[in-house]
Structures are given as structure tokens and as C-alpha cells.
Structure 1
């Protein structure tokens, strides 16, 4: 009984820990991108993460997926959840989008996921349609304020918005794909297969970049946290939560990521928090909460 209670307590705490870690991802991008091109940074991140996972897998005698189909599904998931999502976010930040705005765009993922699941399962409720409308309304409000006229490092353009939308679509499709096709397996071997696939896709893009890596304290710190905190910690937690059926708990908290990121970005990078930004973020958060809130019995 004690063991079960401990397991349940940890499972309840996992979504909160995940959201806290996830919020730092957009901040790390702002720290790293002035000193490195996005795809090269991510290729290094994937390679170092693989090198961390492999000894762990060997020492713990972790089993690899036995089914060839599962290898393929995990590889597809890696392209979506790592290469597509992270590539989009890092490229958007490199192209001048602020941490707060990038978090706000990607923060619509729970809305798209819930609406899609409801639509394919029968019908989208009026509350969900209202939440979807509010979510996009809040986003448009913030984007319109920053489009072409934001501060340095925090400007919305068609280019960086396109990258952010790619990230949004990638993580949404990846979440749905995992729920549909990926069977439960050890998170360490599963994550390693995903990272290998992401590295294979990202490396050719990295080789096309002409900017070099400026290895200074900020870049080393960003890389270290990206590997240890975000990939080994955050991505593994997300996989475990979806695998254990706790994805709804994550979705119900994801609307806290954009305001948390906005506050951190204001403290660390002086990204302005205007009345319009607060209003837009609040409207989007309300929209997300309406969509992911469980229906009354």
C-alpha cells in the first residue's frame, strides 16, 4: 500500500514537474540562439543526448523495442516531437521571435489536440469551439501588437511565425501519433530511437548552415540544460505521461506555460509585458482551459 501511494503521488506530481521544465525550453532557446545556428545547436543536442542515454541503457540492461514496426513508429515520433517541434521553435527564436510569443503559439497544442480528438470521436462541444476561438483570438491580439514592430529579439514576422506554426503542428501531430501507434516500452530506449531519427533528419540541415558555434558560457549552459534538463528530463517525462494515460493532466496545465515563460523572459531578457500582451495571454489561457477541462458528469 505504501509503494502504491508513493507511485500515485509521483504520478500526480509528474505533470507539474514536466510543465515547469517545459517552460524553460523557450528561455534556453533565447540564451543559445545568439551564439549558434538552430539546426547545428539541435544536432549537437541530439548527439550528446544519445551519448548520455546509451551508457544508461547498457548499464541498466534496458530492453530495446522488439517489434520492427515500433522502431519505425518511434522514429516517426522522433522526427515530429524533436526535429519538427524543436526545429520550429529554435528557428523561430533565431529569426527574432521572443520566448513569450513562441510559447504562446505552441501553447495552442492542447486546444488542437482536444478538438481533433473530439471531432474524430463524434462531435466538438460548444465549449470547445468557444475555447478554440478564444485561444486564437488571444494569440492574434499579441501577434498584431508585435508584428514588425516589437523590440529587438521579440518581433513577429511571417518567417518566424511560420517556423512557430511548424513547431505547433509537429507537436500536435506527434502527440496524436504516439497515442495511436506507439506501444508502451522503456522510456530510455524509446527516447534514444527518437533522438537518432531526429539527428538523422537534422544533420543535413545543420551542414547547410554557414554560421559557426560560438562556445561561450551562455551557449555551454544552454546546451547542458537542453541535454540534461529538457531532453533527458522533460521529453522523457512527456513520453511517460502519455504512456501512462496522464496526458490529460499535462494538457490541463499547459496553459500555464506561456504566462510563466513570459514572466521569465521579462526577468531575463527584458521582453516587455504590455497590457495587450497580458490580455492576449490571459484570453488564450482561458481558451485552452475551456477546451481541456473535463466535461461535467
Structure 2
């Protein structure tokens, strides 16, 4: 179908579909901001706050990993979060799942979303992938979910979405290209980040299929506990388990537990419950550039020309996928 299409025609097709949606998004966003009243300015600021908080997760990993190995670090983090959630659930009388099947499904999501996803990110960063690049690679998750996992939910995958996926993949390849020379370590880190993307995508679809009605407090507690046990097994099998409890490590751990696992996740669910699910999904696309900007002054990470071009291609691919999904949603509503 696409044979014989020149590079210029590909570019023209991409711009034809992506640019109008991009301009429309900018216009509508500006209109909402400038017409906002003081009473709802906080609502418009919540998405921006979420993006910043979520982006700091990659920074926290970079900050804490010099003092603890990845699985050990995550096991401590997950056990701490699970303990806090268990206490809050007990104080509030939150309902726990009443059968083993539901518990197993919830635990499976925890293994995918927390164990595989965060395990891949932490492993990748520990092997030399920069915080900004790891954020960009896992930023492909919404595209992967829309194009590859979407059909499982009965969603139609259109040609425009496939084009967006291909363009985004090329962008991630450009970002990862500088690691090709180091086949033993950093490239393995890139692979771990890709595995993280798969874990989050599969975890998302699994959550929608089997755990849509779970209690957020008790369900999250089970998920973090399952991920903690998974990381503990990895740490016992392959790591020394040593932790250097420096002030920087304690700060990173506390930040990831309280601000990320509890604060950012709560904010995410509040945004979703405000009937802005599609808008919330698009917020993840802003995480890579924000992470890169934060990592630049903190760790001296620089963006190469290939990384900048790759980031642009990822954004273009995202716009193509998002435009098609938005168009489909409007038709369904109409």
C-alpha cells in the first residue's frame, strides 16, 4: 500500500495530519488558560504539576542509584509504599478483594506496572542510560498501547496510527543510537527501558480488563506488595543488597515514595476521575522534555543533535496517533 511513496510525500502526509491537530491543541489550551477564572486556575495547573512530578521520578532514580542497586532500591521503595497504603486502608476501612482470583489479577498488574516498568527504568539508568533518554524511550508507551495493545480492546488501528508508530520508533532509535558502541552495558540498559515500555503497556491493558473495579487503596497496596516481593527475589539472587544510607539516598527514596508513588499517582487518578482520561494520557508525552530539562542542570546531561531530532520525531508520531484517536472519540460522541 505504501510502496513507491517518496520521503517528501511521507513528510507531507505527516505534516498534513499532525500540524492541524497541533495548532488546534495550542489554540484550545491557550483559550482555556486565558479564559480561566481564579476558581478553576488550580484545575488547569494540576496537569502541569503532574507532568513535573512524574518527570522527577527519573531524576530520583538517577540520584539514588549510586547508593543502592536497582532491585534493592525498588524493593525498599515498594515495601514502604505498601506499608503506608495498608495503614491508610486500615484507618479508612477500605474494602479488600474478597476472592483469590481478584487478588491474583491485581498482583499481576503490580508486577507489570511497577515491577517490570520501574525495574526496567531503574536497571537502564543504572547501566548508563541518561534520565532524559530513558524518559523518552518509555514515553513511547501511549503509542505502543494505542497501536499494538489497542486491538485487544477491540479498537480500530488506522493507517495514520501505524505511520505515527513507525515515526516514533525511528525517533527512539535515533536517541538510542549513541549507545550502540557499548554493547555490554548501556545498550542493555536501552533494552531494559524498552522492556519497561512493554510492561507498562501490558499492565495498562490488563488493568482495564480485569481490575477496573478495584479499590484504589487496597488494590494499590497489593500491587506494590507484589512488586516488592518480585524485586526482593531479584535482589537476593543477583545483587549484594548493600545500601549506602546517605542523605542524598534518603532524600531520593523519600521523594519517590511520597511524591511519586503516593502523590503523583493520586493526582493521576484524580485527573482521570475528572473525566479527562484522553487529556491525561497525552500528558505523558510531555514527560521526556521536562525530564531532560531537569536533568541538564542537576547531572550535566546534554542533548545531542540526534536526541533532539529523535525527540521531534517522537512528538510527531504522538501527534499522528493522538489526532486519529481524538477524531475517533469525537465521532463516537457524535
**Does the pair score TM above 0.5?**
yes
Question: How big is each residue's C-alpha offset from its partner over 1:200-232, in whole Å with a ceiling of 9 and x where there is no partner?
Answer: 211111113026211111101110011101111
Say whether residues 1:172 and 2:201 are aligned partners.
yes
Task: Look at both structures and tell me which one has the larger radius of gyration over its CA atoms.
Answer: 2
Counterpart of 1:148 in 2: which secondary structure? coil
Find the partner of 2:173 among 119, 136, 140: 140
Equivalent residue for 1:260?
Answer: 290
Say whether residues 1:126 and 2:159 are aligned partners.
yes
Say whether residues 1:219 and 2:249 are aligned partners.
yes
Equivalent residue for 1:202?
Answer: 231
Distance 1:156 1:212, change over 3 A: closer
How far apart, CA to CA, are the structure 2 residues paired with 1:248 and 1:175?
14
How far apart, CA to CA, are the structure 2 residues paired with 1:12 and 1:109?
24
How far apart, CA to CA, are the structure 2 residues paired with 1:83 and 1:119?
24
Question: How big is each residue's C-alpha offset from its partner over 1:128-169, in whole Å with a ceiling of 9 and x where there is no partner?
Answer: 1221111111111121134337xxxxx983311121111110
Say whether residues 1:249 and 2:282 are aligned partners.
no
Say whether residues 1:94 and 2:123 are aligned partners.
no
Equivalent residue for 2:103?
Answer: 71
Q: TM-score, normalised by structure 1?
A: 0.88
Question: Which 5+ residue runs of structure 1 have no aligned equivalent?
Answer: 1-7, 150-154
Question: Which 5+ residue runs of structure 2 have no aligned equivalent?
Answer: 1-39
Return 266-275 or 22-31, whichever deviates more. Answer: 266-275
Find the partner of 1:59 among 71, 76, 91: 91
Question: How big is each residue's C-alpha offset from its partner over 1:88-137, in whole Å with a ceiling of 9 and x where there is no partner?
Answer: 10011111110011011100000011113554436422221221111111
Distance 1:117 1:240, change over 3 A: farther
Counterpart of 1:63 in 2: which secondary structure? coil
Counterpart of 1:252 in 2: which secondary structure? helix
Number of residue pairs matched by the alignment? 288
Equivalent residue for 2:320?
Answer: 290
How far apart, CA to CA, are the structure 1 residues paired with 2:61 and 2:96?
31
Find the partner of 2:72 among 19, 40, 50: 40
Equivalent residue for 2:112?
Answer: 80
Equivalent residue for 1:3?
Answer: none
How far apart, CA to CA, are the structure 2 residues paired with 1:65 and 1:258?
36
Deviation at 1:290, TM superposition (A): 1.8
Counterpart of 2:157 in 1: which secondary structure? coil
Deviation at 1:247, TM superposition (A): 3.6
Q: TM-score, normalised by structure 2?
A: 0.78
How far apart, CA to CA, are the structure 2 residues paired with 1:52 and 1:207?
24
